[in-house]
Structure 1
Amino acid sequence: MTSVPPAPRPPKIPESVLVVIHTPDLQVLLLERADAPGYWQSVTGSKDSADEALAETCCREVEEETGLLAAPGQFHDWELSNVYEIYPRWRHRYAPGVTHNTEHVFGLCLPTPQPVRLAPREHTAQVWLPWREAADRCFSPSNAEAILQLPARTGGGR
């Protein structure tokens, strides 16, 4: 019996979401990347198809990466997009010649820090931190900047 190798994955779509999961008192959930120890981030992920609504991408990615279930209406669209250069170490996931990604920022407010179920192929650890500490720990400048905007976007902060 011969085994058939898995079909190659289609290239990632260079349009993604960044979901800052937080509480009313601005505790922020961060996840440590499995493929880059020490790289902490909020939930992120690319659209599965060109016609996938961004709120649906948020729902899918939050569930895949944390096990948390949220409806599309629970996400707050910050109407903020960042265009950034894809790190060279991850460009192989995209079609040849794709070097930039457009990231759309959303917030998801939970009443209290929730336990999460990590996707082990994606993340190895999670932590809830006060917003300033969370911003300092992020490896991505756009993720850190989004977290720094949290008090203004929610009317909260200390």
Structure 2
Amino acid sequence: MNKPYKIPESVLVVIHTADLQVLLIERADKQDYWQSVTGSLDAVDEPLLATAARELFEETGIVADGERIVLRDWQLSNIYEIYPVWRHRYAPGVTQNTEHVFSVEVPRDIGITLSPREHVNHVWLPYLAAADQCFSPSNAEAVLQLPRMIQNFNK
């Protein structure tokens, strides 16, 4: 049975601590490709918040419980060109993806359980260093916007 094509709509979840340490995870399929949590919708009607919570758990083992660990929707989306190496996962002719940005603040000592099928390593970095390490320009830009977005959420 053929695997269905990926939906070209996804989430990006920037995981950070109160002091702006950012968690990056290294892709299993591309060495030295560091990123935040990302993932596509499983169904066209899957709510974005549900997608973000699912991907956060699948890729890191972190549970967004809505009380201690709260996902924040930035109400920001990016449209970007899908890297040619991954276009085969999408329907023929699909070249762009819409990415919706979220963040989540976690304690620095939170346990991280990577999905070995997707990621092989993780690291905590100060946000500027994390932005430099991201392979994706939209991911790097989201990390750079983190201080301002946190300030907005805390107003």
How many equivalent pairs are there?
150
Could you tell me which residue of structure 1 aligns to residue 22 of structure 2?
Answer: 28
Residue pairs, 1:14-93, within 5 angstroms: 14-71=8-65, 74-93=70-89
Could you tell me which residue of structure 2 aligns to residue 118 of structure 1?
Answer: 114
Displacement after TM superposition at 1:98 (Å):
0.5
- TM-score norm. by structure 2 comes to 0.93
Deviation per CA, 1:86-108: give whole Å up to 9, x if none: 00000000011110000000010
- TM-score norm. by structure 1 comes to 0.91
SS at match of 2:77: strand
Instruction: Give the residue type in structure 2 aligned to 1:101.
Output: N
Displacement after TM superposition at 1:72 (Å):
5.8
For 1:32 and 1:146, the matched residues in 2 are separated by 17
The structure with the larger Rg is 1
Displacement after TM superposition at 1:78 (Å):
0.6
Moved more, 64-73 or 41-50: 64-73
Displacement after TM superposition at 1:112 (Å):
2.3
Deviation per CA, 1:39-62: give whole Å up to 9, x if none: 000000000000000000011101
Displacement after TM superposition at 1:111 (Å):
2.8
For 1:8 and 1:128, the matched residues in 2 are separated by 37
For 1:71 and 1:92, the matched residues in 2 are separated by 35
- % identity of equivalent residues: 63
Instruction: Give the residue type in structure 1 aligned to 2:12.
Output: L
Gapped regions of structure 2 (runs ≥ 5): none
